[in-house]
């Protein structure tokens, strides 16, 4: 006798002619299509929802008093920001109801190019949380730095042919769009021809320039900071991603732009999310709770992390509780305070094990040497000595709680013709060491506003090219900090007086750890404690350090090529 196909079996169970594999009984279902709730059973056949109604099953679970919503969908995140490998990230967020993630692997692509993205997609297979990628559109971000790789339009086209790649990631180079840069135009043309979503990144863009930017085929933006900006972009046809991450928090200011008539054009996303926050507060469930506490209708909020995401990215059969849809479901008891009780991924109840190793890391290390051997520095020729050409230098001044920095001109302490750190005036040394190709490039300068009184801190996280950033009061300690993270092939180190005080190994492209979220969060907490003991005055010096080398955020930054005047978008002399 011929065996039933999965579809034949699903149809028989949907019609009630055979018992369903699993029935969730007496559910209050979040209907994201109609923006309402309804009471019914959910029949599940294998990995799919067979039907909604009154059903009996081989296994039945009484859900009286519980709400059932589609599995939550993250519409935009850089997983690298969590410092967790894709597998460990997925194992962490599944318990918070996240069953689908669309990520932009922009950071790893800047380190290891398409091989980094291949690693990402390979480790993401077979997980309870489905991870999709967007093809990074801006690698490298600028011509003012050396990254580990570059992605041209031909490479983008090849990536868009991969099953797990949904579209073109955020086009950060909006001036390149407006002024019709050849390579930017080719990338956009490839995206349009493929008929895939093209994400945007256009902070403050308005008026006719916004019209031109959207008209090039770009469909979304996650950089809005005011309700008026969000409204203009939605009115012009964009989807607006409301960001509430660990660094940028725009939810409260943007919610007034969301109405009953336009809410289908909004998504709730994180963009970046640190492991401590994932563990202690949650992922998208955290944002839902906050949005609802601020007055957003709970069902509207759930639509913004389910069906709206599926519709924008063209994902079929996910994002709703309906026949034929993937049986990705979350169970909770209160709409006003969403606390996840149970998660179903592909029809199976999930019990997350965040400490379980992901796949065969040994095989991945052998297959992707570009990812696991990404720190290449000639330590023997490295020096942080800085001859003083004049008495005054351009100094990067940090603004508390802002990624924007000031450019100031200050007198510099010297000795025997060499510049020194001046911790009494909070002027410390800063260097960017090229770490991809062992070029020997080192950009040297000064930063004010961190508060470091002694020792040094180094990190291989440095947006967007991710060279080594090191700050310090003492040249020898700066060298030790860099040597430490070179030896461990990526990570963060805090040292003082020739002693290593705390480290975190980030062996995946110098950006992520293969360890579980709890271990990474604990190690990061030790780094913060060590930095505080050295006098650091800001809450997270590592985050601020990571953006000191990003030459697209005003006003003064530094790369491995030297000091950058962002307003002029050009290199500038250190000494005045």
- pLDDT tens-digit series, residues 180-234: 999 999 999 999 999 999 999 998 999 999 999 999 999 999 999 999 999 999 9
Indicate the DSSP class of residue 357: P
SS3 540: coil
Q: Region 38-61: what's the mean pLDDT?
A: 98
Contact assessment for residue 144 and residue 464, using Cβ atoms and an 8 Å cutoff: no
Place of tokens 């180190």: 493
Gyration radius of the chain over CA positions: 25
What is residue 363's predicted lDDT score, i.e. its pLDDT?
85
Residue 357 has pLDDT above 70, yes or no: no
Average pLDDT of the residues of the chain = 95
C-beta of residue 565 within 8 angstroms of C-beta of residue 555: yes
Q: Write the pLDDT tens digit of every residue in 62-95.
A: 999 999 999 999 999 999 999 999 999 999 999 9
Residue 353 has a pLDDT of 57
Pair of tokens at residue 426: 């909070």
| DSSP code at position 271 | B
Q: Identify the CATH class of 6-65.
A: mainly beta
CATH 3.20.20.140 for domain 71-317, yes or no, is yes
**CA-wise closest residue to 97 among 66, 74, 126, 65:** 74
Give the pLDDT confidence of 265-286 residue by residue, as tens digits: 999 999 999 999 999 999 999 9
3-state DSSP assignment of residue 103: strand
The rounded distance, in Å, linking the Cα atoms of 273 and 222 is 15
Using the predicted structure, report yes or no on whether residue 386 has a pLDDT greater than 60.
yes
DSSP 158-194: HHTTSTTEEEEEEE--HHHHHTT-HHHHHHHHHHHHH
Per-residue pLDDT band for 159 (boundaries 50, 70, 90) equals: very high
Give CA–CA dist 565/544, Å, rounded.
18
The domain locations on the chain are 6-65, 71-317, 373-571
pLDDT of residue 317: 96
Question: What is the distance between the alpha carbons of residues 574 and 443, in angstroms, rounded to a whole number?
Answer: 10
Residues 348 and 462 sit within 8 Å (Cβ to Cβ):
no
* Whole-prediction pTM: 0.94
Residue 352 has pLDDT above 70, yes or no: no
pLDDT confidence of residue 476: 97
> If you average pLDDT over residues 528-549, what whole number do you get?
95
Q: In which region does residue 156 sit, left (phi positive, over 0), alpha (psi from -120 to 50) or beta (all else)? A: alpha
């Amino acid at each position: 006798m011929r065996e039933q196909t999965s579809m034949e079996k699903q149809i028989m169970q949907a019609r009630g002619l055979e018992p369903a594999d699993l029935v969730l009984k007496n559910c209050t279902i979040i209907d994201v299509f109609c923006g309402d709730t309804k009471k019914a059973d959910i029949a599940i056949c294998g990995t799919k929802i067979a039907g909604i109604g009154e059903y009996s099953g081989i296994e039945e679970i009484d859900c009286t008093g519980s709400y059932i919503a589609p599995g939550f969908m993250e519409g935009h995140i850089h997983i690298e920001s969590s410092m967790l490998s894709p597998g460990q990230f997925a194992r962490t967020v599944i318990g918070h109801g996240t069953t689908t993630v669309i990520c932009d692997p922009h950071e790893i692509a800047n380190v290891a190019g398409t091989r980094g993205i291949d690693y990402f997609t390979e480790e993401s297979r077979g997980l309870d949380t489905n991870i999709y990628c967007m093809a990074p559109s801006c690698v490298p971000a600028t011509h003012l730095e050396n990254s580990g790789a570059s992605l041209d339009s031909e490479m983008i086209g090849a990536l868009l042919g991969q099953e797990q790649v949904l579209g073109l990631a955020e086009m950060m180079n909006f001036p390149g769009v407006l002024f019709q840069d050849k390579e930017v135009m080719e990338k956009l043309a490839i995206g349009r021809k493929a008929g895939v979503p093209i994400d945007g990144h256009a902070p403050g863009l308005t008026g006719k320039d916004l019209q031109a930017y959207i008209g090039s085929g770009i469909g979304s933006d996650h950089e809005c900071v005011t309700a008026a900006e969000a409204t203009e972009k939605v009115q012009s046809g964009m989807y607006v991603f409301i960001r509430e991450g660990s660094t940028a928090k725009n939810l409260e200011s943007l919610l007034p732009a969301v109405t009953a008539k336009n809410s289908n054009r909004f998504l709730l996303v994180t963009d970046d999310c640190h492991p401590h926050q994932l563990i202690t507060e949650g992922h998208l469930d955290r944002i839902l709770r906050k949005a609802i506490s601020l007055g957003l209708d709970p069902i509207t909020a759930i639509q913004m992390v389910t069906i709206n995401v599926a519709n924008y990215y063209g994902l079929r059969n996910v994002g709703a509780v309906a026949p034929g849809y993937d049986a990705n479901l979350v169970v909770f008891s209160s709409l006003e305070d969403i606390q996840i009780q149970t998660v179903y991924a592909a029809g199976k109840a999930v019990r997350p094990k965040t400490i379980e190793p992901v796949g065969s890391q040994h095989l991945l290390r052998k297959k992707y040497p570009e990812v696991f051997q990404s720190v290449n520095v000639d330590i023997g020729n490295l020096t942080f000595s800085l001859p003083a050409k004049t008495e005054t230098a351009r100094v990067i001044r940090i603004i508390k709680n802002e990624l924007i920095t000031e450019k100031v001109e200050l007198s510099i302490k010297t000795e025997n013709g060499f510049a020194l750190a001046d911790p009494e005036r909070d002027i410390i040394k800063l260097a960017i060491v090229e770490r991809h190709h062992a070029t020997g490039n080192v950009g040297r300068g000064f930063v004010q506003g961190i508060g470091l009184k002694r020792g040094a801190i180094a990190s291989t996280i440095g947006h967007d090219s991710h060279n080594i950033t090191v700050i310090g009061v003492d040249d020898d300690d700066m060298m030790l900090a860099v040597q430490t993270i070179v030896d461990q092939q990526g990570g963060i180190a805090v040292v003082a007086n020739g002693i290593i005080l705390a480290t975190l190994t980030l062996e995946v492209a110098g950006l992520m750890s293969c360890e579980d979220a709890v271990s990474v969060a604990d190690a990061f907490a030790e780094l913060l404690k060590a930095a505080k003991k050295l006098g650091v005055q800001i809450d997270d010096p590592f985050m601020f350090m990571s953006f000191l080398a990003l030459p697209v955020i005003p006003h003064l930054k530094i790369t491995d090529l030297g000091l950058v005047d962002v307003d002029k978008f050009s290199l500038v002399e250190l000494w005045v």
